Structure formats: structure tokens, C-alpha cells
A and B are shown apart, each in its own frame.
Chain A
Amino acid sequence: MISYIGRRILAVIPIVLFAIFITFVLIRISPVDPAEAYLTAAHIQPTEEILAEKRKEFGLDQPLHIQYVQTVMKICRLDFGKSYLTNEPIIEEMTERIPATMQLAVSSIVLAIVISIPLGFLSAIYKNSLIDKCSRLLSFFGASIPQFWLGYLLIFFFSVKLDLFPVEGRGSWQHLVLPAVTLSLALIAIYTRLLRSSVLEQLQESYVLYARTRGLRERTIVAKHVLKIAITPVITGLGMNMGKLMTGTIIVEQVFSWPGFGRYFVEAIFNRDLPVIQSYVIFAACLFVVCNLIVDLVQLYMDPRISLKGRKDS
């Protein structure tokens, strides 16, 4: 198992390198000249002389492969450079924004778990009942409604009309409710359906039939046996979504003025703050890789046969 974990961790390295490469290439093929973007952000008139000076300072006069190696080396030292706009180290600016995004991501995950598990479970047990139909409706709604629109609707009804929550900002738990609900609705939609189909699938399994023939009560069968197994895909799904949420939920942070990671990225785009855009993309890629790794390790913990299979394959 340890060698499997080791191999999985090692596999992260080429993926991250590839992500850095793609980001590097995308920035280079974009029509925006980094030196010019810097001067525009710093409010300096871009004369040819200053442009040449800045290009040299940023190493843009070096051959591409050297620029790439330098970028990788810097990132390995966790040196993401400075923002063109604020002239502050990007790593510090990102660290400042992580707690806000974490808070929102974690709240929406908790909310999604608390709602989708009972709902998914009940809609499977009481298949085609009112609760199943309601959960289906909620899932369709959650999966299809654009988040910005849902955000506006929630603000309009619960904040402007009913005056239950503040419209925007961060501070108290009330501030957290609407953005967390907006984010979690899409998750609830997915997990409810995922759990429902997983439970229904398990109910067809022979161990359930065996339990029934043993005369166990239906409630005991589903609560003690079926749910424990049916929940596995939901855990995998949660892990996958964690990366998405942790990189900042651009639209929700924008709509609710949440001072997190996504807003930082949007501002960087508007200001053509290339080092920030590059760092964000690389960070997001790393986070996704790590989340996937965690999911794999969790699956390994759940089902040690994975590592055995890996060993056999190798």
C-alpha cells in the first residue's frame, strides 16, 4: 500500500509540470504583452525604451525554453512573483484570501452533506413518493439554474424582500448563509441523485436479499448495511468538488462580494495582471491534483483491493 501511495504522489509531479507548461504557453500566445500590461497597470507611459527595459527585467528577451525553466524553478521555490497591479508578492496576496474561500467552500460542502444524504437516502427508500418527486424537482432545479441568477434570486427574496440576511459582504454567520446555499444547491442536486441511484443499486444486491431472508427488519437492512456501502460514490464526488470550491467560486464570490480567491482572479483578469493569472491557474491545477490524490487515497482506504490490483498490474 505504501508503494502505491508513493507512486501516486510521484505521479503528481509530471502533472503539475504539465500544468505549468500549459499556463506558460497560454500566457505567451495571448495577445497581451506582459511588459505592456505591467506598464499599463503601473500607469507608466510605455515608450519603446521602457518596454525593452521591462522585457529584459521580466526575462522576456530570453529564449522560450530558458524562460520556461526559470518559471518552473521560481514556482518550485514558491516564488510566484509580484502582482503588476499592487507590486505585492502574489503568494502573500493568495494566502490572505484563502480563509475566506475556505470558509465558503467548507460551509457549502457541510450544507450539501447535511441535506443531500438524508434526501437521497429517503428518495431511494420511498421511491416515486412525494419526497422522491420533490428531491427530483430540487435536483433538476439545482443542476440547471445558473449560479449568478440563483444568487440574485436569493438576495432579492431573502435579503431585499424578507430582510432575513445581509445582501453582501463577510463577517457574521448571516453573511454566509446565502452564498453557501447558492453554492451547495448544485452539489445537493448531484449528491442526492447519486446517493439515490447508489442505494437503489445496492437494494438489488444479493446481500440484501440474504438479509431479508434472515428476517431482518427492512429498516435495519437499509440503515445498517445498504447506506454504508451506497455512500462511497458520494465521498468520491465530494472530494472531486472540493478542489473546485477551494479555487474560489468566481461567480458566487463576485455576486456576494465575498473577499476570496475567485474575486482576486477576476480582478487580475480585468487588470491583465499576468503573474496573478498564471499563479492562480497553477495553484488551481495543483489543488485539483491534490484533491484527486486524496480521493484516490480515500478509495484505497475504503477498498484496499485497489492497491493489490495496482501491485498486480505493475
Chain B
Amino acid sequence: MFNSGKKAILLMVGMILLLSTALMGCNSQENAPTVEQDASPTEKAITVSWPRDIGPMNPHTYNPSQLFAQSMIYEPLVSYKEGGKLEPHLAESWSISEDGKEYTFKLRKNVKFSDGTPFNAAIVKKNFDAVMSNPKLHSWLGVISALEKTEAVDEQTFKMILKAPYYPTLQDLSLVRPVRFLGEAGFPDDGDTSKGVKKPVGTGPWMLSEYKKDEYAVFTRNPNYWGEAPKLDKVTVKIIPDAETRVMAFEKGELDLIYGEGVISMDSFNQLKASDKYGSKLSEPVGTRSLLLNTTNEKLADQRVRLALQHGFNKQAMVEGITLGLEEKADNILSKNFPYTNIDVAPVEYNVEKASAYLDEAGWKLPAGKTVREKDGQPLELELIYDKTDPIQKAMAETMQAEWAAIGVKLNITGLELTVQIKRRRAGEFDIDFWYNYGAPYDPHSFINVVAEKGWGVSEAHSRVPMKAELDKQVKEALASTDETKRQELYGSILKTLQEQSAIVPVSYIKKTVVYQKNVKAFSFPANRDEHPFNSIEVSE
């Protein structure tokens, strides 16, 4: 018996030794410089956090590359600025043929990639060819579907020829992906960037100088940058997946700035905002959270029912209560800060009497002793589907369930897996669903496109709107229009009709948040929802 005791001790000592050796093995990088130790005192640097690893930094592909980081390295021909203004970027100027099918870009001279190689029409064409060789990957983007061919006319001139006129071509070119430019050294041998890039070489103000997957990425200034150099020398991005940890790292001073959409909880934002130790800002609306009412459902085909639902809940109180002021009550389907969307609409106010009157008028009566309205023996029962992992959608669904019960509408709420929710929306298998527009620079053209184009669920949801055919026609005209005034008119008409028809019920405007330490100055939100904000930032001692 005592023999087994000796064995136990032997085993235990052995185990500790083994584990400790393993530990030292794992910890071989202990002496490697960590991110914090690197900064020299004179260097102007900030440390920010991001929830996910920045990804492989391929300009021509999507997830898992993070948009903000891609936008630090790679640049567009045309950039999207406040109010939807398009400004020259890598293209110094451009001209559009009268028929709207030919775009000729004069490229900026003396632009170099971060490795010193020149930026010219040949490399622009090579990038376009790489993107166009995978049309399926980019079929969602209008300009890719519209593009017939490209041509490097001379060293500084690049031409795009479209199959048919498509006015948002320039907006599409301002996106962070997929039409940005990788230097020659980044291309794989077979030129097919969809499988990966050799290294991230761009013309942008920043270069990826150090990277540890899932841990951090360090961006330093590109010495060959053609434009105004950023005020900072270095931006370190720490990958912190947990929102509360992010806030604590910020409070401790390990982070200088936390920026993005939903990157910290609403409570934490308000708490940090209330403290005079930090700075904070809320952006202009970047998108609208809406409800999509499916008119293929007989009950929702009646405009009066849709209006009744809209009058039947206290939007202001719901948005304020659930988002703690981080979102703003929305009256317009698209907020007014996008191009062509600055239209005045009469807000549909919270009015229970009006809601009940609409339902009565539509024939949905409340039988004595019952709580749910009926028509021809059918109860007024609807289903709202929501993403079960989204706490805001869930809370809003519950609120509306309670509010609409008061006007005699029975709302069943169903939490779904996100992919199932999207699948059901696309198949038109829903009564009511949450829906979001895309934001700048995608909107308003991407929004009107899905209103007319089948396959996304939005067009399908509008199919019983009386003037659907006319709407679709107007959308097609607007997207192909080369006349600015005509386009504005068409947008005005489309948006007005959609507002009146109430198949899309705007709920709230989503905003980006930022919190920063007091030494961080001159922060401004980029106009393009996906761009990084680091070029203008300064730090004081």
C-alpha cells in the first residue's frame, strides 16, 4: 500500500515538472517585445481596440478582413465625403460619356505603393481584372454586374466601359472593397487574389508593420504616401472580443479610443460619457432600423392595417428606453444625410385612437369579451421574426407585442438564427421582420435597388402595394439616369410612395459611437460607414 503512495508522490512531482516544462515551452515568447513596450516617448501613437482579428488584408475579398483596416492600407479611385459628395482620390479627375456607359479616369501622378512601386493604369487594370475574374463573389455589387470591359489607355488614363448606364458607378468605386488597389508585390503568381495575397501593399496612408493573429496589428505611416500625412506615427489595434473587457482596458488607459457600431454596451457608453475624464461622440445616423411588413400576407396587404400598426406603438419611448439614447427615433426610411434623401415626411405619430379607427375601417372589429380583433371569423394575428442573438431586436419585439395587444392585434414573436431569419425574409416567409438599410456609400441606390429587385425579400414584401409596377419602373429609371435633376425627382417620388405605403416602418437611426481619452484630439466620423477615422486624429502630450 505504501508503495502506491510513493508512486503517487513520484507521479505528482513528475507531473508538475512536465507541466512546468510545457509551460515554459508555451511561454517562449515571454521575452519578445509586447505591443505596449514598443512605443518610444516621442512617437505619436494611439492604441485602439477591435472585436475581431483584422484578417488577411486582401483588398478584393470580404470576411474575415475588417473593413476599417482594409481602408487604412488600400485606397479608391473616388472617395465618398459628407452628404454623398464624391471627390477625386487616386483618380485626379474623370469624365463620363453622354450615354453614361464610358468612364475615363485620369490617374493621380506620383502616387506610389508603400513598397515604392508606381501606381499607374496598368496596375489599376490588373486589379480590376483580378476582381472581374470572380464575378460570382461580387455579383451583389451593381458596378461589377454592369462592367463590360476595362482598358489602360496610357500610363495615367484608365477607362471603364459599362454594358448599360449605371449612375452609382462612382459610389460603388468608393467602397472599401472590392475595387481598391493592391501593389504588384502583393499579387499571387497566378494573379488570382480570391485565394489570397502575398502581402498587403497599398497606396494608403498606413502600412501594416506588425501583426499577430487574434492579438494585435500595428499600422505605421506609409513613407511614400502621396497625400497629407496622418498626424499620428502609429496606430496599434488590439483585438479584444469582449465589450466589457474593452471598457476596462480603456478605463485603465491601455486603450486611447474605442470606435464603431455596438462595440461597447449602451450602459458603458453612457457611463463613460457621464465621466469628465473622457471624450465621447455619437455619429450622424449611419443606417435605419426598420420593420418590414409583408404585403403578400392578406392582412398586411391593406394599407390601413399597416398604418394602424405604425400608429399603434410609442416609437419614441421604445427607442429611448431600449437603446438608452444611443439611437434616435426615425421618421424617414432613409435618414436625411444621404444624397437625394433630404425629403420632409409627416411623422406617423403614436395615436392609439387613430390606430383603432384604421382597424375598424378596415373591417377588423373587436368582438365583445375578446382581446383580439377579428374579420370574417379570422383573428388579427401576425408573426414578427427577429434575430434571437440581438438583444435590441428582442426587446423591441416584446414591446411591440405588448403595445399592439392594446389595439387588438395579436403579435407572435419568433426568435430565429440569423441565417434562418435572412432565409425566411428572402423567401418571403414572414409577416413582419426587422430590416436595415446599408448606409453610406451604398445608399440610397442600394436601397431602391432591393425595393425593385427580387431575391432580397424587400421587393417581395412590397408586391401588393398598388403602384408596385410604377415603383419598379421609377427605380430602374433612377439607377440608369444621367440627369441629376431627373434623378432627384425620381428619388423624391420613390421615397414618398414608400413612406406613404408604410410597408417599411422606420423605427430608429443607428449611430456609431466613440469614446476617447482626453489627449486624443480632432476625432471625426468618416462619411463612408466602412472607412477608418485615423487620418485626422492628433494626440497631445
Contacts and interface: CB of A to CB of B under 8 A. Distances in A.
A45 to B, nearest CB: 5
A78 interface: no
Given A41-B63, A167-B248, A50 B136 contact: yes
Contacts of A288: none
Interface string B210-230: 001111100000000000000
Nearest to A298: B11
Given A36-B419, A106-B23, A109-B19, A302 B4 contact: yes
A103 B239 contact: no
B367 interface: no
B20 A45 contact: no
Given A167-B252, A168-B249, A85 B455 contact: no
A228 B5 contact: yes
Given A155-B248, A228-B9, A169 B238 contact: yes
B29 A31 contact: no
A291 interface: no
Contact of B248 (A160, A170, A259): A160
B12 A113 contact: yes
A110 B61 CA distance: 44
A110 B9 CA distance: 15
Q: How large, as a class, is the contact surface on chain A?
A: 35 or more
B26 A99 contact: yes
Given A96-B213, A259-B213, A159 B252 contact: yes
A100 interface: yes
A254 B63 contact: no
A110 B23 contact: yes
Interface stretch (B30-38, B164-172, B465-473): B30-38
Interface in A76-106: 85-87, 96-97, 99-100, 102-103, 106
A169 B248 contact: no
A256 B242 CA distance: 8
Given A254-B242, A257-B240, A228 B22 contact: no
A235 B12 contact: yes
B94 interface: no
A263 B418 CA distance: 20
B8 interface: yes
Interface string B43-76: 0000000001001100001111000000000000
Nearest to A46: B426
Q: How large, as a class, is the contact surface on chain B?
A: 35 or more
Contacts of A229: 1-2, 4-5, 8
A86 B216 CA distance: 18
B27 A103 contact: yes
Contacts of A96: 213
Interface in A215-260: 225, 227-229, 231-232, 235, 238, 254-257, 259
B254 A167 contact: yes
A33 B419 contact: yes
A285 interface: no
A171 interface: yes
Contacts of B213: 96, 259
A134 interface: no
A167 B20 CA distance: 24
Contacts of B239: 257, 259
A292 interface: no
Contacts of B248: 152, 155-156, 159-160, 167
A41 B422 CA distance: 13
Interface string B231-253: 00000001111101100110110
Interface string A56-88: 000000000000000000000000000001110
Residue from B30, B240, B245 with most neighbouring chain A CB atoms (10 Å): B245
Nearest to B389: A270
Given A113-B16, A152-B248, A43 B35 contact: no
A114 B12 CA distance: 11
Contacts of A201: none
A170 B16 contact: no
Contacts of B22: 102, 106
B15 interface: yes
B137 interface: yes
Nearest to A260: B214
B6 interface: yes
Interface of A: 30-33, 36-37, 40-47, 50, 85-87, 96-97, 99-100, 102-103, 106-107, 109-110, 113-114, 117, 152, 155-156, 159-160, 163, 166-173, 175-176, 207, 225, 227-229, 231-232, 235, 238, 254-257, 259, 263-264, 266-267, 271-272, 298, 301-303
Given A50-B136, A235-B8, 8 more contacts: A102-B22, A110-B19, A207-B1, A225-B2, A225-B5, A228-B2, A256-B245, A259-B212
- A-B pairs with the 8 shortest C-beta distances? A228-B5, A103-B26, A43-B62, A259-B214, A171-B34, A167-B249, A106-B23, A257-B240
Interface of B: 1-2, 4-9, 11-12, 15-16, 19-20, 22-23, 25-27, 29-30, 32, 34-36, 52, 55-56, 61-64, 136-137, 139-140, 195-196, 212-216, 238-242, 244-245, 248-249, 251-252, 254, 416-420, 422-423, 426, 455
